[in-house]
Amino acid sequence: MKVIDITEKLNFAEKPKIIIKDAEITVNNSAITILKIMPKVSKKSIDPGDVLDIIDMLVPEEEMKKLDKLCLSFEDFMTFIEAAISLVTGADDAGEVLTRTTT
C-alpha cells in the first residue's frame, strides 16, 4: 500500500479575513462550506433566503457579532458578502452574480 503525507502542504491555521474599519472578520473557507455556497451563487437568480444561508455558512457566529456592531447598510452588507464569496472562492465575478440578482 502506498501512503503519501500531505500535511505540510496544507494550511490549517490561517483563515481569510476581511477588515472593515477596526473590525477584522474571519471568514469560513472550509471546503464543505465552499461546495455548499457554489450552487447558490452560480444560479441566475438568487433569493434573500439564499443570501441568509450564504452568510450563515461564511461567517461564524462570533464573527457575526462583530459585523452586527458595524451597523452596515444593506448595500454595504451586500458588499461584505460579495467580498467574502470572492475571498473564499477566488472568483472575481462572485460579487457581480450576487449584486446582479439581488438588486
- Distance between CA atoms of residues 56 and 89, nearest Å: 16
In this predicted structure, the answer to whether residue 75 has a pLDDT above a threshold of 70 is: yes
- Distance between CA atoms of residues 49 and 52, nearest Å: 5
* Domain parsing of the chain, residue ranges: 7-102
Q: Which three cell numbers stand for residue 76?
A: 454595504
E strand spans, the chain? 17-20, 23-26
In this predicted structure, the answer to whether residue 76 has a pLDDT above a threshold of 90 is: yes
Read off the pLDDT of residues 13-64 as tens digits, 9 standing for 90 and up.
788 999 999 999 999 999 999 999 988 888 777 788 888 999 999 999 999 9
Q: Which residues contact 94 (CB under 8 A, 6 or more apart)?
A: 41, 82, 85, 86
Contacts 24+ apart (CB under 8 A), 16-19: 16/87, 16/88, 18/80, 18/83, 18/84, 18/87
